[in-house]
Amino acid sequence: MDYGKILNRAGEIIWKHKVLWIFGILAGCGAQGNTSSYQMGGRTSGGGGYDGGDMPFQNIPNPFGNLPDTQVLLMMTILILVILVIVILFFVLGVYGRLGLIQGTLRAEASEEITFAGVHEAAMPFLGRAILLNLIVGLAVLGVGLVFAFIAVLGAVATFGLALLCIIPLVCLLVPVLWFVSIIIEQANVALVTEDLSVGDALQRGWAVVRANLGESIVMGLILMVGGGVANLIVSLPLVFAVLPLMAGMFAFADSSSQAFGWGGIGIFLLCIVAYLPVLILASGIIQAYIKSAWTLTFQQLRAVINPSSGEPLPEAT
């Protein structure tokens, strides 16, 4: 497989057809929309507020004030529901953006005109199947993770923490396994669109393509993972400097030195985030567009390649 040709062609496609950046931004929603975690602190039975004692940052104002527990519970329930709706919305937008990038790349390779309306129209017939495909995989991964976490906690309690010494190597092994699964899913999504397959057939085709071209798939996965990670790290570096005034504000609240200084630090942090957010979203969208375009081109090449080790061609599309 000509890695350089694929990578160069992906760059040419997304640079020439900048409308694909929009779909890259949407595809990024699926990559970012389910990575946030939310943590709730405990409340005392008196219903007054947090009894922090000498806990750090105890002087940060309590956002709930002295609201009754029932009102706080209602507010947290609404917040959780809003978060759930946002996660679902981001998931659907992420799948839609991925489909748009696949269709855009295919249209570019066919020398067809690429417009947002045209790509949208071509992607919509596959949206339901693509959502189902990625949902099934996501739930399967989540289920495995929950089972693994349950076994880890149960083992740690039963052995007073000694089981964690055996679990840590398994966690290290699980990371490359999940990464390899992500490669299969990338190819399955492209197969679903390229060959107009059902969800089950797309998963089988994605696995068949990766299995028959195992070395090439792993190398391309490493290139895109490392390259994409470095690119995302570079565009995220300015956020590191934005955190500095936030930390200064937090420490000001912690030692009660100055409430005004604390709020000022938080305000500067928020201004930096708001100012840089459009740049970050655009840069991340371009990176996503490049990666998905490269995976689409990779599938097209690997689909036609005979596995040198087995000498067997890939199964024909049905």
Distance CA 236, CA 127 (A): 30
73 in the Ramachandran plot: left (φ > 0), alpha (ψ -120 to 50) or beta?
alpha
Taking the model in full, what pTM does it have? 0.76
Q: Quick check: helix, strand or coil at residue 300?
A: helix
Within 10 Å of residue 133's Cβ, how many Cβ atoms? 24
Domain boundaries, the chain: 3-35+57-127+215-303
Q: Return the residue matching tokens 């017939």.
A: 125
Closest CA to 33 of 80, 75, 98, 85: 85
Is residue 293 classed exposed, middle or buried when 0-12, 13-18 and 19+ CB atoms within 10 A define those classes? buried
Question: pLDDT of the chain along its 318 residues, tens only?
Answer: 788 999 999 999 999 999 999 999 999 887 643 333 333 333 433 444 444 444 444 555 555 556 667 877 888 889 999 999 999 999 999 999 999 999 999 999 988 889 999 999 999 999 999 999 999 998 988 888 888 778 777 776 777 666 667 777 777 788 888 899 999 999 999 999 999 999 999 999 999 999 989 999 999 999 999 999 999 999 988 888 877 777 776 766 666 556 666 677 777 878 888 888 899 999 999 999 999 999 999 998 888 764 444 444 444 544
Distance CA 212, CA 201 (A): 16
Burial 216-247 (b: 16+ CB within 10 A, else e): bbeebbebbeeebeebbeebeeeeeebeebbe
Distance CA 198, CA 129 (A): 7
